[in-house]
């Protein structure tokens, strides 16, 4: 018998499920505390976050916490693994597209035209001294860790909580899932393009399962809808072949790297996914579904 609790944070749904109901309250408290720490370190919309301080001082090496070092490190790993398709230096491009506030505030305001983002500096320009915990970005560069921070937090929380409480744990943060521990039965998961949409059922025994889409976090502009998945090659919201991609991998960070890369750069990222051999479900612009590398025969969710 398992127990779960759901709440909202970071403009998305957070759900924690544990196999031992007795530890649910304590485990929820720990997950919330970790998310608070991550927000204080890497929150893009918090002027008092460490990331905002670094972004406001281009060209300087700024002392940062070990937590932010880890978060930036993971974002650079994702950039390397994806061949630059998931790039943390797209911060200015996301703002230029209009995503410069909490998503609900962006949706409520009068539509604003997008501005020219300029060239993406590239993840290789980030200066990270892991030993001394120093972080620097070049001029005209802003870091955005949104692509990897949620997945990292899901990974970290699931591993820590399952070890601490000795039970299976499922952490879900805005579409990024991580299962840790050994559940008596694999978790049953609905995979959908957006919360509330019709989805398909699969089981998840371990590892990470993430879904990236350009259909959920979007807003109106004078020329149509914009969304938050940036193609680093153009600096503009991606318009590749697939609108939604779900991927399984041993960790949520790895799964999210591939799912985001496929939405951001389309077929350019397909080779890396095929080489990695991770199961994936791709939904094209016209709704056509492609299942790769052993994605299980899906059953439609009720």
Contact positions with other proteins (CB under 8 A) in 160-179: 160, 170, 172, 174-177, 179
Question: Which residue of 65, 114, 190, 221 would you call a contact of other proteins, by CB under 8 A?
Answer: 190
For residue 61, state whether it binds other proteins (rule: CB under 8 A).
Answer: yes
Q: Which of 263, 270 has the CB closer to other proteins? A: 263
Binding to other proteins (CB under 8 A) within 196-255 occurs at 197, 199, 201-213, 215-217, 244, 246, 248, 250-254
Binding to other proteins (CB under 8 A) within 18-37 occurs at none
Binding to other proteins (CB under 8 A) within 88-147 occurs at 123-124, 126-132, 134, 136
Cα–Cα dist 280/292, whole Å: 5
Label residue 181 left, alpha or beta by phi (over 0 means left) and psi (-120 to 50 means alpha): left
For residue 284, state whether it binds other proteins (rule: CB under 8 A).
Answer: no
For residue 82, state whether it binds other proteins (rule: CB under 8 A).
Answer: no
Q: Which of 101, 291 has the CB closer to other proteins? A: 291
Q: Which helix (H) or strand (E) holds 202?
A: strand 200-204
Q: Which helix (H) or strand (E) holds 264?
A: helix 252-265
C-alpha 192: how far from its chain's center? 16
Q: Which of 48, 258 has the CB closer to other proteins? A: 258
Point out which residues pair with 3 in neighbouring strands. 18
Q: Which of 57, 130 has the CB closer to other proteins? A: 130
Q: Which of 203, 274 has the CB closer to other proteins? A: 203
240, 214, 211: which is closest to 151 by C-alpha? 211
The total of other beta-carbon atoms located within 10 Å of residue 275's CB is 8
Q: What is the CA radius of gyration of the chain?
A: 19
CB of 221 to other proteins, least distance (A): 20
CB of 116 to other proteins, least distance (A): 27
Any idea of the CA torsion for 86, 239, 281, 71, to the nearest 10 degrees? 20
C-alpha 197: how far from its chain's center? 20
CB of 175 to other proteins, least distance (A): 4
Question: Which residue of 56, 138, 194, 271 would you call a contact of other proteins, by CB under 8 A?
Answer: 194
16, 22, 14, 15: which is closest to 166 by C-alpha? 22
Residue span binding other proteins (CB under 8 A) among the ranges 43-51, 106-114, 185-193, 230-238: 185-193
Number of residues that bind other proteins (CB under 8 A): 85
Q: Which of 115, 132 has the CB closer to other proteins? A: 132
Residue whose structure tokens are 């399984």: 248
Cα–Cα dist 295/155, whole Å: 21
CB of 108 to other proteins, least distance (A): 19
203 SS3 class: strand
Residues 6+ apart with CB under 8 A from 218: 225, 226, 227, 228
Q: Which of 210, 265 has the CB closer to other proteins? A: 210
- Check if the beta carbon of residue 6 is closer than 8 Å to that of residue 146: no
CB of 136 to other proteins, least distance (A): 8
C-alpha 49: how far from its chain's center? 19
Q: Which of 46, 182 has the CB closer to other proteins? A: 182
For residue 55, state whether it binds other proteins (rule: CB under 8 A).
Answer: no
For residue 189, state whether it binds other proteins (rule: CB under 8 A).
Answer: yes
Q: Which of 92, 169 has the CB closer to other proteins? A: 169
């Amino acid at each position: 018998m398992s127990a779960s609790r759901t709440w909202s944070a970071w403009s998305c749904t957070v759900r924690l499920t544990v196999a031992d109901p007795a530890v649910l309250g304590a485990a929820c408290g720990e997950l919330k505390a970790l998310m608070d720490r991550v927000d204080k370190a890497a929150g893009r919309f918090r002027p008092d976050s460490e990331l905002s301080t670094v972004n406001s001082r281009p060209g300087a090496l700024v002392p940062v916490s070990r937590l932010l070092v880890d978060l930036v490190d993971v974002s650079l790993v994702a950039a390397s693994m994806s061949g630059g398709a998931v790039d943390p230096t797209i911060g200015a491009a996301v703002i230029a597209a209009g995503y410069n506030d909490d998503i609900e505030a962006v949706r409520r305001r009068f539509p604003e035209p997008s501005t020219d983002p300029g060239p993406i500096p590239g993840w290789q320009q980030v200066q990270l001294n892991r030993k001394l915990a120093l972080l620097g970005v070049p001029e005209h560069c802003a870091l955005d860790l949104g692509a990897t921070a949620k997945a990292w937090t899901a990974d970290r929380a699931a591993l820590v909580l399952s070890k601490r409480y000795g039970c299976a744990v499922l952490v879900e943060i805005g579409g990024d899932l991580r299962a840790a521990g050994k559940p008596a039965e694999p978790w049953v998961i609905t995979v959908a393009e957006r919360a509330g949409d019709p989805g398909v059922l699969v089981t998840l025994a371990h590892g990470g399962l993430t879904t990236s889409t350009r259909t959920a976090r979007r807003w109106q502009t004078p020329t149509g809808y914009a969304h938050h998945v940036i193609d680093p090659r153009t600096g503009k919201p991606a318009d590749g072949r697939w609108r939604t991609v779900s991927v399984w991998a041993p960790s949520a960070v790895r799964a999210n790297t591939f799912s985001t890369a496929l939405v951001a750069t389309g077929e350019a990222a397909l080779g890396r996914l095929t080489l990695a051999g991770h199961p994936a479900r791709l939904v094209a612009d016209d709704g056509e579904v492609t299942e790769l590398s052993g994605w299980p025969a899906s059953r439609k969710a009720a």
